Chain A
């Protein structure tokens, strides 16, 4: 019952500006649920990303900061966490934000093992700008900048961010990838988010959770078809799992 009351403040706010079937909001809701369950909502600061993840910050009712221009969220979060070590600090970014324009900030925060949580909602496109290729676009996927389908000979292959981060710094606290296309996966994803948050609260260091999210608008699929697309096309390229478990030796 308490959970219902706590979660009710999500819907006090103006309706989020998201498309029907958007994966970001499912992921974001899970983040909010975990903050509430851990009792840290009122001691959490959110460094938002650019693009759709930035737009959804309006759905936020705890502290968020105003200036995380395209990709800089991990650097902003670093500044917040280092000067406010007792505050819970996380970023919420898309793949175009964290893995492309902000790759330097993302990797370097992981390299330093900053005690922050980085949540990345990957929909394999630049969504807010209208569906261009990101580094995580699938091979052959049509986007507005790969009208004939992504040709990996010219663009490189899809980037796997959590795995890359484990390569850059095997000492990070936690790295995992989940998705939101079924109840089973949502429960798994929530466990991952909880792990990431608990890692920060225990001072274990950097954690990253990537969620493979649906983008019906830019994929030109119905929300239902998006679920299928994730299962059939996205997950074979981006396997789910924990790439660095908490407490595991590097």
Chain B
């Protein structure tokens, strides 16, 4: 089973980014769960989503709460607290635009600093920082192929009636993929 935490402020796209991963897993016939933080977080506070999916189609997802994550996507500084829920050696992708000073990362984490906001801006998708992170995540983990993941992402947005965003989302994904 794989586990990934997406965390940031409400509005930074961390719920949507989690959905992209869960949707991709579903389209690969894997069991998956997506669990959002709830309550005040929905209104501009600290938000997160936890995604789990099986390694094989037969694997059942246990408890959907964050426990021992393989990867953390931290869109802001407070989100780094969730490293406490990461396995040793876990991948930590940090939105470096949100780190205003040095941060003392633990040695047992595979940390990548990615200027996600800046990259998103450069591909004319100012709101797409979390999609940039998805591109980087997919490349670094190798969980799903590049084209398949992008297709699932577009399918997910199509279901929400947001297909018109496909081109800028693909641009953000590709930029994230190339950034690592």
A and B touch in the complex (CB under 8 A): no
Binding site for A on B (CB under 8 A): none
Q: A residues engaging B (CB < 8 A)?
A: none
